Structure 1
Amino acid sequence: MAIRFSWIEAHPTGIYLPSADAWIDPATPVDRAIITHGHSDHARGGHRAVLATRETLAIMECRYGPQSGQGLGYGEVIRIGDVDLRLVPAGHVLGSAQAVLERRGERVVVSGDYKRRPDPTCVPFEPVPCDVFVTEATFALPVFRHPPIGGEIARLLAAQQAQPDRAVLIGAYALGKAQRVIAELRRHGHDRPLFIHGALQRLCDLYRELGVTLGELLPISGLKPAALAGEIVLAPPSALNDRWSRRLPDPITAMASGWMRVRQRARQRGVEMPLVISDHADWDELTTTIREIAPREVWVTHGREDALVHWCREQQIPARELALIGREDEDD
């Protein structure tokens, strides 16, 4: 039998706490917003007050200007209305958090977006047992099983070494993915300068200000094409096939995304080297996480909700789809 809590409500525009008059990742501006992470489908501007990790608040300020609100450390407890809130790591991007909500002995965990794989740019996911677990379902189909990132980075570096007359152009989302790819390239021994599109500069600078080591990053502007032969260049996915990319010498076009598992998506993007690198949990991570947390009920947000709801019910776990609006697969 499904659990029904009067103190937490799911609306198309977000999850609402009536007694605290607070919304979690609302799709429209509200008086009080609890934000799980800085991607624009979860963190929007215009809220009167924001509760988030200090890193997420800094990311929102970088994107939207000064924010009125409070930055919290992981594990710090704050009471809003009659609900105790603490933020614990989600492992998605820098500052990403799960909202742990407790009231009169009941606990709900709103995960936001998350992954279970190691990531040198953010704190690992922390499983929290609860009564209700609100989970994403971006890659909630058994076909999505992400390979180890080390193998994808090794393929990339091998292609660079085998074709030294070509640049390597990697499409990577500006928040989280670009910095993770950079950090993994460093971890795998690439200590040469990396070149970045101007759209990545501000968030890379912020990551470094917040303590993430990225090594030497150089702007591509003003460089002659010949200077980029054999070099690695990172840009937002939207730049892969526009005029900006044509300045590069015969680039090997790559894209880092969980969607690169789907060959048709790679072809549609004109991607020569798909890199299956995701900041979201794959099918095994989603199901393993639910088993580990052992919730009494699961609420499923954006993505392949029906498949994950079906799996939960097969495991005798009550589950339902929330059908939240305004959620995207990634942040470009």
Structure 2
Amino acid sequence: MPPHPETWLRVTPDGLFCEPGGFFVDPVRAVERAVITHGHSDHARPGHAHVLATAETLAIMRARMGEDRAGATQQALPYGETLTINGVKLWLRPAGHVLGSAQVCLEWQGSRAVVSGDYKRRHDATCAPFEPERCDVFVTEATFALPVFTHPPAGQEIARLLRSVALFPERTHVIGCYALGKAQRLISLLREAGWEAPIPLHGALMKLCTLYEELGVTLGPLVPATVAGKEKLAGAIVLAPPSAIADRWARRLSEPIPCLASGWMRVRQRARQGGVELPMVISDHADWPELLATCTEVEAGEVWVTHGREEALIHALAQRGIRGRALHLVGRGEGEEE
């Protein structure tokens, strides 16, 4: 009988450790061998001796951390290609979260576990879509694991934005969004909706947008938001980090309308506290129905929940005959990125 994954995959102070393979998945501290699901800083930490990830994730880590901190040795593994480490079979499947994001699939002595990392199930032209993998244990995130979090179609939120732009042509709409994943997805959604104008960007977003282009993701014309004067930004859609939409930087814009793109915008209080006039419920994480559907789709008899709303998801899974377990991993962010 194959050994249960709990006998060879365990939680340590450094993170989730595959004992027979001798490596960690998304460790929270520098370790000898790390497998990284994606480039967000609560999953990709600096200083590991050996890092295995998709080529895109490695490129993102180098861009964010520097070549010397993204792993002394870096090994790229394409989706679906199998590698054996000390008898443990390892392969990566797309997670649909950001460019290069991957689920880590592990098999040892006939027992299979899949570590999802962060994932979403919605359309996103800037990254490969999520691919379910059947397993004995599925390790899932639970960022939005409450019934209140049912995300609307992203296109619907973009349409709301464009209606507001048409209604206030003399003002600048400035959207708060994270530099990795969310900014590029918003640009792609705007292009799909027919917005062809150059999109001004805060300087903090430009580097990763340029990297996405270098990695084959077409984003269309982008310009620095600092180049144009207030009058030229009237009617424009500007992207900036969430921290910038209400600070002095935004004062250079033409009567700015603060917007924020996040799954947390489902909670009205969060929007009010942040001074957000146009909340946009666009998330790069699975919502409540998608979490439940994914846990059923992978046909795992047991689901381990790494962070977020653990208790609610475990209770809902139990009603579906699936055993749940909270891993209480430290160092994971609550928000879209950090």
| TM-score over 0.5 for the pair | yes
SS in 2 for 1:300: strand
Partner of 1:230: 235
- C-alpha RMSD over aligned residues: 1.2
| Cα distance in 2, alignment partners of residues 240 and 210 from structure 1 | 28
Partner of 1:16: 17
Partner of 1:80: 85
Partner of 2:267: 262
Runs of 4+ in 1 over 4 A off after TM superposition: none
Identity %: 60
- Deviation at residue 242 of structure 1 after TM alignment: 1.2
**In the TM superposition, what whole-angstrom CA distance separates every residue of 1:121-168 from its partner, at most 9, and x where no partner exists?**
011100011000000000000000000011100010111111110001
Partner of 1:323: 328
Partner of 2:30: 29
**In the TM superposition, what whole-angstrom CA distance separates every residue of 1:53-101 from its partner, at most 9, and x where no partner exists?**
0000000000111132101110011111121110000000000000000
| Cα distance in 1, alignment partners of residues 136 and 149 from structure 2 | 27
Question: What TM-score comes out, normalization by structure 1 length?
Answer: 0.98
Which amino acid in 2 is paired with 1:264?
Answer: Q
Partner of 2:128: 123
Q: Does 1:178 align with 2:179?
A: no
Partner of 1:53: 54
- Deviation at residue 317 of structure 1 after TM alignment: 1.3
- Deviation at residue 52 of structure 1 after TM alignment: 0.3
| Cα distance in 2, alignment partners of residues 100 and 260 from structure 1 | 32
Which amino acid in 2 is paired with 1:330?
Answer: E
Tell which deviates more after alignment, 4-13 or 20-29: 4-13
Which amino acid in 1 is paired with 2:269?
Answer: Q
Query: Any stretches of 5+ residues in structure 2 without a counterpart?
Result: none
Would you say the 8 A contact 2:5–2:137 is kept in 1?
A: no
Query: Paired residue for 1:71, among 76, 90, 96?
Result: 76
Partner of 1:106: 111
SS in 2 for 1:324: coil
Would you say the 8 A contact 1:172–1:255 is kept in 2?
A: yes
Q: Does 1:213 align with 2:218?
A: yes
| Cα distance in 2, alignment partners of residues 237 and 324 from structure 1 | 26
Which amino acid in 1 is paired with 2:337?
Answer: D
SS in 1 for 2:246: coil
Partner of 1:314: 319
- Deviation at residue 319 of structure 1 after TM alignment: 1.1
Partner of 1:6: 7
| Cα distance in 1, alignment partners of residues 194 and 13 from structure 2 | 46
SS in 1 for 2:63: helix
| Cα distance in 2, alignment partners of residues 256 and 12 from structure 1 | 33
The count of corresponding residues between Structure 1 and Structure 2 is 331
| Cα distance in 2, alignment partners of residues 154 and 206 from structure 1 | 27
- Deviation at residue 222 of structure 1 after TM alignment: 3.5
| Cα distance in 2, alignment partners of residues 321 and 40 from structure 1 | 22
Which amino acid in 2 is paired with 1:70?
Answer: Q
| Cα distance in 1, alignment partners of residues 325 and 77 from structure 2 | 30
| Cα distance in 2, alignment partners of residues 147 and 291 from structure 1 | 22
SS in 2 for 1:180: helix
Which amino acid in 1 is paired with 2:170?
Answer: D
Q: Does 1:196 align with 2:197?
A: no
Change (3 A) 1:313 1:13: farther
Would you say the 8 A contact 1:254–1:271 is kept in 2?
A: yes
- Deviation at residue 4 of structure 1 after TM alignment: 5.5
SS in 2 for 1:5: helix
Would you say the 8 A contact 1:3–1:297 is kept in 2?
A: no
| Cα distance in 2, alignment partners of residues 161 and 268 from structure 1 | 26
